[in-house]
Structure 1
């Protein structure tokens, strides 16, 4: 859908797929995707959850006739997208704007078809002699209420090309339906480099056309170049100012010159794996390897910069985008094939007028470019374009990138702080301006605090065998769980290692909601259901349910003032620990919400769940009602202090797939005696004698020295455990840690040392204690 734009070097070539002749598009739930299908090309439409339907709307009469001839004999007319448009929420407005942008002026008159989930996956192949067809593919769906269980899912479209123009390369992610288009494009053929100028505020998108291709990048101050002075991107200044090896979208996103002044800001990155300012490849590198006369990026840079009077160099320090390097503990630099896939990109914004030069690296003597150098493509966007900061995440290695999204409460939290971090594909606050982690922590311990926990993944598990699936998947005995109750559980694989932990809500006899951290858990549950032959639906509802945690001694008083519950549901003031209720905000006509007596702080607390459309309204109501009670916002830095004091575990720290529930400190979730039915991992867990199990314990240092995840614990010269999480505790006044210990050294009162500087040169003594550090009888959380 891109109009023609100027391209340095002439026409845009059809070079997509030099190493790959296909591309996968993702259509998020309740959204549409425009597609042009040319002769001899094909698409395959896949519903990952095997529940979401696909609707097709041809955009002209010829396309309608062509597509109709390729569809199954029995196919229903498209109708669900109209039902979505008839709603009043954000998804209806967003879809309406998309349809208008794609040329569907009157959706009521558009004619199309629906392929239901049972007809997917479906392949549509355009004959070799056909003219191109244009159509919209939709993943329509209705908004899901908090007590419903059918959410719109995403679709994947596998597009196989003969060849594709570079205009099909992905554009930068945007929060708006009005996608900014480039004002200029620069094509960099493989084994070459191109110089180009950008103005202050303009955006630079560097795209890997075919995947696994490095692109070295240098920037100069353009005004200084015109004066004969070379002010250039500087690696040491950039690393020093950012405090990281390579800038990344967010707070540490600036590239600086040798005067320590920002030149560029990194705004989006779909790869996250780049080299940190080593030299662009040089003639010497190839000569030392025995490849005399091999072209290099440095030589190509010297050639591209010559018209600007830039002095040639034997080696140019550059940002080596997409170059996959690793630093070993001994300091050795290693490398391997890039992680970038076809269409992956980085997006930067110029802080001043710049002269830039980009290469398509010619290295074909090692894995640096996947052994096959290919092309790089540059797009320049106008200064008045708007793009949000975003990092890519992928649940499976080869799927299309998912860019970081704001939560339903971002408009409110971003007004209170600029300190955000990426967590599970969303931006979440780390601390708040005017508060800080210590004040936020104290508010939760002494009064009440509110925090955004929307990145938690939600999965609706429904159907005749829903209980059977969860009984097989979870370590807990699901058959004992009552409707309206919640249970905390682990999910393990066959070795007993933990895939995830989370809370299970029993919404009905055969309707459950699983709340966890890892989006892969949904895929694993579907695979298990298919393997066991269960009649069950596992559908992700994360985009339909966002949630706030309201935690602290005054949390019940706060929510009791604003949450109305009908007579058939438990009121908030009577809600028992690990139970939930459904009600409305403010009264019987308010927005629907679900309230659970759950949390991650060790304090009395609740979580409040709503549809994202009502996120701002829910935040405002809680914020206003909480002011007389001393409410404060709570960021992830303060949450870490709270959960460590409470002895609560976190993925990637206390557990991973190589850690069983016993070693993670949650052996209580494995009822081997009372749960007679088999579950995944049971055999492996039953083989571990209690005397041989590693134990998660607490450690109180004698000081407030900082220690970190991964630091080893020593008894004399020998390691006996590891620090999993640590913080300075306002409660105890010392540094505390969660530690995993060999059973022989896990008794409370044992004296051990944390080893730093190779474990031998610096030792920090401390004492093993039982968990939790805070409220050992858990009286406060149960109150």
Structure 2
């Protein structure tokens, strides 16, 4: 059952992954190391699916009387629920299940569990059951902390339930559970509006139940209304104050009125696509379209606000959540279907006492609501709740939304800055105001700096065919990779475009670790293993391994003072470039880590990997030991300067899936002559290398103006390339850039111009120069700093 539901559904040639499920079907993700509790009824069909393979599942079914009886789902249980018990103690999801069990008075100690899957289970393996009666089903994906040198990572499960009784079924999707105990829990049907009050500090959740539905929102200062003044959220003031089209969770999260008073701030947003420069739908709009008398949000807002003495308007400026509008290059406002999926929401916090109004838009004559208006769920929560900031993201379009996470090192860096930005699903420091971006940069170039790289995606690649799989998926030759060695490589699709870049660690004869920039590369490897019928497993371990980079000339000295290695492992002083070792903090009984001599700054560098539970201890030890050497923190803004100077590629800038490794400036990762084995994209890459069309080059720019990613590069009136990255180099005292140019214009010394504004009205004179701009021989990365 589960595999069929994962497929993309196409209606009239339109594919909408993740938007719809078959009638009566529910999808419940079970997090790695966690658990999920779901009510079941007699006749429900239950499917448990192992998403990545190799993950044990434990099921416990409770009758309404609180008896743990595997027969409730037609199964036999022969083991105690030890794995489930561990999830109840160690995971956030498990703690929620534990509270539910305690409230119901159920005794887990007397229950018997059904255990599914094993070490050799394949991705997508599933088991099916049928509920013999009503009760509570608990599914756990047990697994403990993974040691840095181990590969026993727990992974997610999926629980599917096809409901037997559809009498209460109200739509393809039900509103998800509240985030806490709600003060207001109001369903708003299409064509309705609801007015409500929220005290300062309270939270407002506006939830799109079925997906693709817009909701106009407006908030008024209660104090101003009491004084006879109307001071509502103003989109123009908000955009001017924040410098963004619409606020998102982070530093620029507030909505403002024309008196520059902040009224609300965004705390969580799982959609990330809204409108803030249009009006709520109006009577005039429908009249002009020929739909006279059509119900509209503006009239509904007027009616709801009348008791508060708010003068009616012909058109209400509103924050239209989930409404997908944009402005094109010709300044036209374009409307398309919303991006919101079932259950997407925004969570706001009131910054003063508010009177608010929310609608469910009735527009059914254009794509604004996907041509099918549906419900909005409104919830409010008390000021005492603790909701962390997050921006929703999905690994794949059909996957469940995930919230921005804090890395294991977040608390340590949060002592030094409040400037965090969302990066690839995690909060990372952007800058450290106490040092300044230039101060961070110079610390790395002249002394030593530490930064958080935990969002890098980690995948454990194991099994008898692990080497064969990786040799097929990456461009480098895995047959030559020794145990203890690391290699930088690319992952390409069959047409030669890059899926990702990253490093491969060889932990054993059949044991590898892939560390890349995105989830897509690991998914690609898992899919290729299945397609080729290889006995290899690819399992995500990103949340089991966090890592900091220690970069700069003093990095080796600091680490060698802190970490002990066994006699059969390289010490820090012995560790060669692109090698790794397993070590412990202090002595043989200390906290385990894995240390690689790698980096992304062009300096002598190391990366230290540990389990998130140990991150605070590891950071504090490095921080304290580094102070005599001038250790400073390093944020993303300074890192960008360092990596551009050093000519290091960044996803979405130097490469994407339309760019091959030669065009991305990393052609050295494609050894077409020495690697005899076939690999993904090989034929296309041989053709592309033989007939190059574009090349990555370095540019030196005469102006102090820094070009932006995407600025055009021109020879006279014609465009011959595009800037991929640019910065002002503190070391060189010059403005520099990386650019991808048409092959005939890549000779060193070629004079070009970078176009800004419309590409013609403003030009920056530039010339092609060798790159990397800084330390082209990579002597510093190899540890050679001279006298």
Same fold (TM over 0.5): yes
The aligned counterpart of 1:306 is 306
Which residue of 117, 138, 147 maps to 2:149? 147
Cα 1:42–1:214 shift into 2, 3 Å: farther
3-state SS of paired residue (2:378): strand
Q: Mark the CA change 1:694 to 1:365 in structure 2 (over 3 Å): closer, same or farther.
A: same
Name 2:317's counterpart in structure 1. Answer: 317
**Paired residue for 1:123?**
128
Deviation at 1:308, TM superposition (A): 1.5
Matches within 5 A, 1:219-234: 219-234=219-234
Q: How do 1:288-303 residues align onto structure 2 when only pairs under 5 Å count?
A: 288-303=288-303
- Alignment partner of 1:158 is 2:157: no
Q: CA deviation at 1:745?
A: 1.0
**Structure 2 counterpart of 1:761:** 761
Query: What is the aligned partner in structure 2 of residue 716 from structure 1?
Result: 716
Q: Distance in 2 between matches of 1:355 and 1:43?
A: 45
> What is the rounded CA distance, in whole Å, between the counterparts of 1:431 and 1:555 in structure 2?
21
5+ long unaligned stretches in structure 2: 1-18
* Superposition RMSD in Å: 2.2
Shift of 1:135: 2.2
**Structure 1 residue 62: deviation in Å?**
5.5
What are the within-5 Å matches in structure 2 for residues 675-754 of structure 1?
675-690=675-690, 692-754=692-754
Distance in 1, matches of 2:690 and 2:447, equals 40
Partner residue in 1 for 2:547: 547
Q: Is 1:49 matched with 2:60?
A: no
Query: CA–CA distance in 1 between the matches of 2:248 and 2:565?
Result: 45
* 1:24 alignment counterpart: 27
Distance 1:736 1:512 in 2: 37
1:660 is matched with 660
The 2-side partners of 1:369 and 1:533 are apart by 43
How far the C-alpha of 1:57 sits from its partner, in A, is 2.0
- Check conservation: 1:191, 1:374, Cα contact below 8 A: no
Distance apart, 1:589 and its partner CA: 1.3
1:246-395 matched pairs, under 5 angstroms: 246-395=246-395
Q: Would you say the 8 A contact 1:207–1:346 is kept in 2?
A: yes
Distance 2:568 2:480 in 1: 22
Counterpart Cα distance in 2 of 1:747 and 1:151 = 49
Give the SS at the match of 2:780. helix
Whole-Å Cα distance in 1 between the matches of residues 106 and 775 of structure 2?
61
Q: 1:40–1:125: 8 Å Cα contact kept in structure 2? A: yes
Determine helix, strand or coil for the equivalent of 1:688: helix
Name 2:84's counterpart in structure 1: 81
Matching of residues 84-123 of structure 1 within 5 Å: 91=90, 95=94, 98-103=97-102, 107-116=108-117, 118=121, 120-123=125-128
Relative to structure 1, is the Cα distance of residues 658 and 72 closer, same or farther in structure 2, using a 3 angstrom cutoff? farther
Question: 2 CA distance for matches of 1:20 and 1:232?
Answer: 41
Cα 1:94–1:624, aligned 2, differ >3 Å: closer, same or farther? farther
* Contact 1:723–1:737 under 8 Å retained in 2: yes
The answer to whether the 8 Å contact 2:174/2:209 transfers is no
Deviation at 1:706, TM superposition (A): 2.2
Correspondence list, 1:568-583, <5 A: 568-583=568-583
Instruction: For 1:481 and 1:18, locate their aligned partners in 2 and report how far apart those are by CA, in whole Å.
Output: 45
C-alpha displacement of 1:25: 2.4
Matches within 5 A, 1:239-250: 239-250=239-250
Deviates more, 1:206-215 or 1:499-508: 206-215
On the 8 A contact 1:24/1:399 being kept in 2, the answer is no
Listed as ranges, the matches of 1:493-508 within 5 Å are 493-508=493-508
Summarize the alignment of residues 505-520 of structure 1 with structure 2, pairs less than 5 Å apart: 505-520=505-520
Counterpart-to-counterpart distance in 2, 1:42 and 1:233: 48
1:38 aligns with 2:38: no
In the alignment, structure 1 segments of 5+ residues that lack a partner are 1-15, 173-178
Distance 1:213 1:691 in 2: 48
Range 589-598 or range 45-54, more displaced: 45-54
- 2:176 matched to 1:170? yes
User: Contact conserved, 1:19 with 1:210, CA < 8 A, in 2?
Assistant: no
Whether the 8 Å CA contact 1:504–1:513 is kept in 2: the answer is yes
* 1:481 aligned residue: 481
Matches of 1:92 and 1:356, distance apart in 2: 36
Q: Which SS does the other structure have where 1:440 is aligned?
A: helix
Q: Deviations over 1:463-514 (max 9, x none)?
A: 0000000000001111000000000000001100000000000000000000
Shift in Å, 1:65: 7.3
Question: Whole-Å Cα distance in 2 between the matches of residues 21 and 372 of structure 1?
Answer: 19
Contact 1:77 1:114 survives alignment (8 Å): no
| Closer, same or farther: CA 22–219 of 1 in aligned 2, 3 Å | farther
Q: Give the Å deviation of 1:193.
A: 0.5
8 Å CA contact retained: 1:66, 1:133? no
The residue number in structure 1 matching 2:452 is 452
Structure-2 change in CA distance of 1:193 and 1:105 (3 Å): same
Partner of 2:16: none
**Are 1:217 and 2:217 matched, yes or no?**
yes
Alignment of 1:631-646 (within 5 A): 631-646=631-646
> Displacement, 1:448?
0.3
Residue by residue, what CA displacement relative to the aligned partner does 1:187-236 show, whole Å, maximum 9, x if unpaired? 21121111111100000000111111110001111122123211111011
8 A contact 2:61–2:72 mirrored in 1: no
- Alignment TM-score, normalising by the size of structure 2: 0.92
1:180 Cα offset (Å): 3.0
In the alignment, is the contact (CA less than 8 A) between 1:712 and 1:754 conserved in 2?
A: yes
Q: Secondary structure at the match of 2:470?
A: helix
**Aligned with 2:185: secondary structure?**
strand
**Secondary structure of 1:403's match?**
coil
CA-CA distance at 1:357 after TM superposition: 0.4
Distance in 1, matches of 2:48 and 2:442, equals 51
Q: Deviations over 1:269-299 (max 9, x none)?
A: 0100111231011111111111111000111
SS where residue 237 of structure 2 aligns?
Answer: helix
Map Cα deviations across residues 634-670 of structure 1 (whole Å, 9 max, x no partner).
0000000000000000001111111011101111111
Give the drift of 1:44: 2.8
- Cα drift, residue 367 of structure 1: 1.4
Residue pair 1:23, 1:342 contacting (<8 A) in 2 also: no
Alignment correspondent of 2:7: none
Q: Could you tell me how far 1:80 is from its partner in structure 2?
A: 2.9
1: CA distance between counterparts of 2:92 and 2:297? Answer: 48
Mapped contact 2:70–2:114 kept (Cα < 8 A): no
Number of paired residues?
A: 755
**Counterpart position of 2:11:** none
- 2:606 is paired with a residue whose SS is strand
For 2:557 and 2:625, the matched residues in 1 are separated by: 10
Farther off after superposition, 455-464 or 16-25: 16-25
In structure 2, relative to structure 1, the CA distance for the partners of 1:466 and 1:63 (3 Å cut) is: farther
- Greater shift in the superposed pair: 162-171 or 414-423: 162-171
TM-score after normalising by structure 1: 0.93
